[in-house]
Amino acid sequence: MNDPLSDFQISFQQIELLVPKINKGIQFILVISGELTVETSSRFYHMEEKDLLVINRNELYQVQGSDHNRVMILTISDAFMDHHYADYRNRSFECYSKEIDLGREGMILSLRKLLANIMISYYRQDESYQIEIKSHICQMLLILIRSFKVEAGVLEKIDTGDLRLAQIIDFMEKNYDQMITLEETAKKFFLSTGYLSRYFKQKMGMGFSRYLMNIRLKHSMKDLLYTSDSISQIALNNGFPNTKSFSAFFKEVYGMTPNVYREDHHVQLEDSVQSYSKEDAANFIQSPEIVALSGIILDDPKPYPNTETRYEKLPLNLSKPVSVKLDYPCHILNIGEIIELLKEDVRSQVLDVKRDLPLRYIAVRHLFNNTAIPPEVETDEEIPTTSPYFNIDSALEFMKKHDLSLFVQSDYMDISRNEAAFFTKLSQFMKHCLQLYGESFIGEWHVMFYESYSTGAQAKELQRVYLKLYNVLKSMIPSIQVGVYMPFSFRREKTSDNHVWQLKQGESIDFIGFYANQNEVVDFTEMANSQFDLAKDYIKEKTAKLKRYLKKNNAEKPLHLVAWNTLSGNTRYTNGTFFRGALILKNVLDIANDVKTVGLWINTLVHEEAGKGKHYRMDGVELFHYLKGKRPAYFALMFLKRLHGEVVAHGNDYVMTCNERGYQLILLNCNIINPYFSVEETFLQKLNKEIHVTISGMVKGEYQIRKHVFDKNHGALYTKWWELNSKHGMDAEIIDYIINSSRPSLEIFDETIEEDWSFYSYLTSNAIHFFDIRKTYS
């Protein structure tokens, strides 16, 4: 019966010296403690505690270790790799833990932990240990293949399964610095010169001499980079007959002379591993000690989450001009009725928004209701001791103090109930405001005439009432902005018949407000994912269609997106579990140059109160939750405000800017899916994306990189709420903890950028990664 682990060699050693040898298969070297120097034919690796290195097939290497080091070595056979990975012979793997690109730390942590688990299973040897070990190894190989593979070089591609060929290559590798000829080699291995020449070319795909030159060139590279030897010394030390042949072959392969290459790739000088023995000097370590040391590796936080992910390359060339210019829109914050501004918690939220987002307007409805302006009562006072505007004045004083303007939705229904009384109240109120605050403050206000489909009012009636509203306001405050809400059909690409009159009132309309809600075009009872393709780019396309429609009718006006939503589902349950941070940010980015403002609701409570107890509202994006914690929209849009400077790179899922402090980069992983699938973790994992970013053209120097990660595990309020929920409810301590811990994560790195800068970012579904790349001055 075959041993299930015969394809794998696992050892735990204290290594003083491993003599030069050609690696068979793929080898993982993990330093558990102490130090190790690994020298290959082309470079050196100085390894310390927890460092991990992969040695590729057919790679010549030797090792020297410090006293009392502890090393784990796992070797996976060529036969196993050939059987399970068809492209194995065309690939090699660049995996050295000290030189991984930013963003790959989690993968190295996972490889270490898998090795630690192999270590434990190997020595525990319970009934399932062989299956466990094979499972861990396969997970390691998935990470290696999907994330660290590169095109194999000539030496890695050769087939050393042929024992005689392997012996010949081993001889060439160990004696490359000597005079080796085809004739002498054929004689050494009892072959004719002609047969060896044909045999070698058939097996290797190149002639004997060419292959020998490749070996010598690979070894000479190490001398070129790590020693101060002259070019002529390097040529002779590595078996080349003279400097001219070395330089010519080097230039043929690398496209430059050895001298130029050395200047461009200078590294610290090194001494070769000294081997005075023909045998390894290493001791194998028994189980109790090594299993105890596995805890050092398992202490590492945050392993790479999974291997089931999409992979994309994102090259950014900052030297190429970008024509995109982003004018970020301001926000309208909808608080329902103006008296909400009398509440301290609402004021606190408004000030948070003012600090973190480009907030310009406070939107209110039903300005003249009985709560905001109490009805007149009979009194015997000759001069009233109270003002009917007391409540509104307090709200307006707060707004004026914090440089905020009013955006009033004036409903046709509110006006038509008692038109004469409405306009009397309006005139009196505007006179009061002019008296108290002056025209400069009032002139910044916007008043939007709104009529819902439910009124059934005819076009002429709507036109008449609007023009009356316009004329009353403009006669008192000429600079005030008066506009209309235009209902606009996405499919029919036009407004309703009762609102066509708006197109012919250009001189009497200062702006146009509109709605855009992806949820309107989706049937949430239909589970097919293709149904949700309708929602992709819906807000961007509706805005573009409206602009084209207005231009065609010579009715172009500033646009205000007063209400909108991303795809969310039609219940509070799916709305909470479906993380949509990237969708929110992308929707605003998509229309940044097309609208003046984007509307937001201040919080869930105010929004639902505005719905008069109806089912969950989908007509707006909220910034705060019932618990007073910040919803994903808050953080998503906060990143947009932080992004500033000249756009130097731009695409569907990224924006990069250059500013006085350095650079900023936003990466997005936008996914439009059925929100009901958001509770299926296995499904969501297939939507994760790993991006390999390479940026060329950055100013050289020292940088501090601040990486903010915003996803369902870093900033989503509902994630913490689900984790800490209990059938016994929540108290203030739990709620405070949820609010304070639900925010994007922050990581800080120092980078020296001399040429292209390369890193990886792993984004879960609808995640946002924000990089603040700050130039430092020492």
3-state secondary structure of 557: coil
* Amino acid occupying residue 333: L
Domains in the chain: boundaries? 8-151, 158-264, 329-376+385-485
Q: Is residue 1 predicted with pLDDT exceeding 50?
A: no
Give how far the C-alpha of residue 748 lies from the chain's centroid of Cα atoms, to the nearest Å: 15
* Cα separation, 557 vs 216, whole angstroms: 72
Fold that domain 8-151 belongs to in CATH? Jelly Rolls (2.60.120)
Q: Is there a contact between 563 and 519 (Cβ–Cβ < 8 Å)?
A: no
Task: Please tell me the CATH code under which domain 329-376+385-485 is placed.
Answer: 3.20.20.80
775 vs 381 pLDDT, higher one: 775
| pLDDT of amino acid 199 | 87
Alpha-helical (H) ranges within 530-643 are 538-552, 572-577, 581-590, 604-610, 632-642
* Cα separation, 523 vs 182, whole angstroms: 75
CB atoms within 10 A of CB 494: 17
Alpha-helical (H) ranges within 365-411 are 390-401
pLDDT, one tens digit per residue, over 416-464 is 999 999 999 999 999 999 999 999 999 999 999 999 766 678 999 999 9
6 vs 51 pLDDT, higher one: 51
| pLDDT of amino acid 286 | 66
| pLDDT of amino acid 738 | 83
Q: Is residue 525 predicted with pLDDT exceeding 70?
A: no
- Which tokens hold the place of 54? 């992969």
The pair phi, psi for residue 511, each rounded to 5°, is: -160, 170
* Cα separation, 444 vs 449, whole angstroms: 16
- The mean pLDDT value of the chain amounts to 85
Q: Is residue 160 predicted with pLDDT exceeding 60?
A: no
Q: Helix 390-401 crosses helix 419-437 at what angle (to 10 degrees)?
A: 50
* Cα separation, 186 vs 209, whole angstroms: 13
* Cα separation, 573 vs 343, whole angstroms: 28
- Which tokens hold the place of 741? 């811990």
Eight-state DSSP code of residue 228: -
| pLDDT of amino acid 506 | 84
- Which tokens hold the place of 255? 């496209």
pLDDT, one tens digit per residue, over 4-24 is 568 899 988 999 988 878 788
* Cα separation, 765 vs 578, whole angstroms: 10
Q: Apex CA 667: angle with CA 666 and CA 673, to 5°?
A: 130
- In 3D, which of 660, 671, 584 has the Cα closest to residue 622? 584
Fold that domain 158-264 belongs to in CATH? Arc Repressor Mutant, subunit A (1.10.10)
Q: Is there a contact between 459 and 497 (Cβ–Cβ < 8 Å)?
A: yes
Least confident of 138-142, 304-308, 349-353, 671-675: 304-308
Eight-state DSSP code of residue 101: P
Q: Is there a contact between 416 and 469 (Cβ–Cβ < 8 Å)?
A: no
| pLDDT of amino acid 493 | 94
> What does pTM read for this prediction?
0.71
DSSP 141-158: HHHHHHHHEEE--HHHHS
* Cα separation, 274 vs 265, whole angstroms: 25
pLDDT, one tens digit per residue, over 266-291 is 666 666 655 545 677 778 876 556 65
| pLDDT of amino acid 119 | 84
CB atoms within 10 A of CB 753: 16
pLDDT, one tens digit per residue, over 526-546 is 655 556 677 888 999 999 999
Percent of the chain with pLDDT over 70: 86
